[in-house]
Structure 1
């Protein structure tokens, strides 16, 4: 079996991104010489060479299917970061990528040997992708039950870390601005963040369904959902609010500031994804960090393994997250 960057990273004890940048002589990478030599020695031990990546020494084409349009992608830097990371990682591995936006299956070239699909997809869309190729890796969508490789963030522990942080701050009235997602053919996609939020609070006897409001993951929907929460709950507004993604968090923060509610003393906020936008709002937003670069490199490695061994059983990779505290928590 051919060696992947994941194999080298595991053996050397570093991230996949670090391995990739060292092997590609990235001069901007800040890493000590001992680590660099360990990675190079591991690659040499495994007899790793990039030209062995491509079957028959030919460049393979992989479609990168983004479930957002270009305009939508600009409003959600999370999915943009994943796509751009995949394209960079694929290029480093000697793969040629073909971008396809908003699930336009008819635009996928029929000569691609694999598909990396980013976002949410209905059963019928999965079948449409399958008609092009069976070598598919889904990113941010759990497709294991359908028989396809997939890569997802660790939603369960991410949500639990948020609730633990609020409780540690002395906050036991916790609300959520949840998101309702639909595929481009309008099939509803369950949100695991809300599922784990509700189930964890129930376990701790802290669940209040009236503290949950929903939007559609846009900044405007976050603004409107928070305005509705403020108007509906008044003085009963929860002291801690978990927000399903960064654009909604930015909109919610605007509504809170317009209502002259103090953050974080009266309301503490934690977002999810930790894209650049939440670092530069004021006050800067605490957020669950999802390692989009790591996801991108891992997705490409999974695709390479699939291309090399198409008959292998599908696998699911869960990428860890961590909570970053900034000015919207106490």
Structure 2
């Protein structure tokens, strides 16, 4: 099979000149005789220009666990979605946004489901498309791809760091969530890991644990409960399940004139934009949410374009970010 190099040698010109002439580069300035000699050489050698195979234009549905308003109040899922959309746009894929309470079957090649979905909802998604990637759902279907955070390692990093600083009384303000239209409470994997690690160290105390929602107001209420119930036995450090809870907890401590971090240290989770601007600046765990979204698109591409059969789970690491709190 003839190559551009063969044509260049026969026509006695450079490879770059041959490439530009054969690709009809409008900026090239060579004489008509030179162009003709290149075309003649290509014909004599039987050169065939190989066209790059056009990539399939995929149509993807992004299905949200949250409503639009809830997403605006929780930048964690918002930033995951932005990561998904950025990657889809880079690859020139079409996409639509759906919310989990929709019943209309979308005409798509695949689905990226962001958040937690019940078994019934998962079955519905898999009826809509055989190619589904779940993001931030540790209980994703074994037959589907998923992208999750290594919550256990992140929790271990936090507790290990606090113990290295000499703390043995470490409390937790955990968040609870429910499936859409259900009263079933989902267990926070951070809380599960916290209990397991603290019990292994012989440091677990149930009275140091409080549960609420993943909001600033709930963080405030939980810390007020801790202050009122525990009094002088208030732990010297608290791990909060997200930054919103941590911000609420810090406000409660400030309102009760409890110094941060001298009396109580606070560590959040997610490294949201507010973390570095509260006072004192919030120590937290950075979650690479944009990468979570990008990874979901990559997994979907593998399934559709490369026809990968075996389900794949991507577990992303986190980073402990120490600030003033």
Deviation (angstroms), 1:294: 1.3
- Structure 1 residue 158 corresponds to structure 2 residue 154: yes
Q: Partner residue of 2:166?
A: 170
The answer on whether the counterparts of 2:190 and 2:241 sit within 8 Å (CA) in structure 1 is yes
Tell me what 2:279 maps to.
282
Q: Contact 2:195–2:204 at 8 Å: present in 1 too?
A: yes
Equivalent of 2:210, from 206, 210, 213?
A: 213
Shift of the alpha carbon at 1:67? 0.8
- Cα deviation digits, residues 18-37 of structure 1 (max 9, x gap): xxxxxxxxxxxxxxxxxxxx
Equivalent pair of 1:122/1:185 in contact (CA under 8 Å) = no
Superposition pairs of residues 147-296 of structure 1, within 5 angstroms:
147-186=143-182, 187-296=184-293
Unaligned runs of 5+ in 2: 1-50
Q: Give CA deviations for 1:234-262 in whole Å, capped at 9, x if unaligned.
A: 11110010000111111111111111100
Where does residue 118 of structure 1 map in the other structure? 114
Q: Give the SS at the match of 1:280.
A: coil
CA RMSD of aligned residues (A): 1.7
CA distance in 2, matches of 1:146, 1:106: 24
Aligned with 1:139 (options 114, 128, 135): 135
TM-score using structure 1 length: 0.80
Equivalent position SS for 2:103: helix
Number of residue-to-residue matches in the alignment: 274
Would the aligned equivalents of 2:122 and 2:141 in 1 still touch at CA under 8 Å? no
Quote how far apart the aligned CAs of 1:52 are.
Answer: 4.8
Moved over 6 A (4+): none
TM-score by structure 2 length?
0.81
| Secondary structure in structure 2 of the residue aligned to 1:137 | strand
- Give the Cα–Cα distance (whole angstroms) in 2 for the partners of residues 295 and 262 of structure 1: 36
Residue matched to 1:96: 94
Paired residue for 1:76?
74
Q: How many angstroms apart in 2 are the aligned matches of 1:219 and 1:175?
A: 17
Matched residues in 2 for 1:139 and 1:105: separation? 19
Determine the structure 2 residue equivalent to 1:43: none
- CA 1:249 to 1:52, structure 2 compared with 1: closer, same or farther past 3 Å? farther
Cα separation, 2, equivalents of 1:87 and 1:268: 37
1:307 counterpart = 2:297: no
String of CA shifts for 1:37-94, please: whole Å, max 9, x gaps: xxxxxxxxxxxx997542xxxx221111111111111111111000111111111122
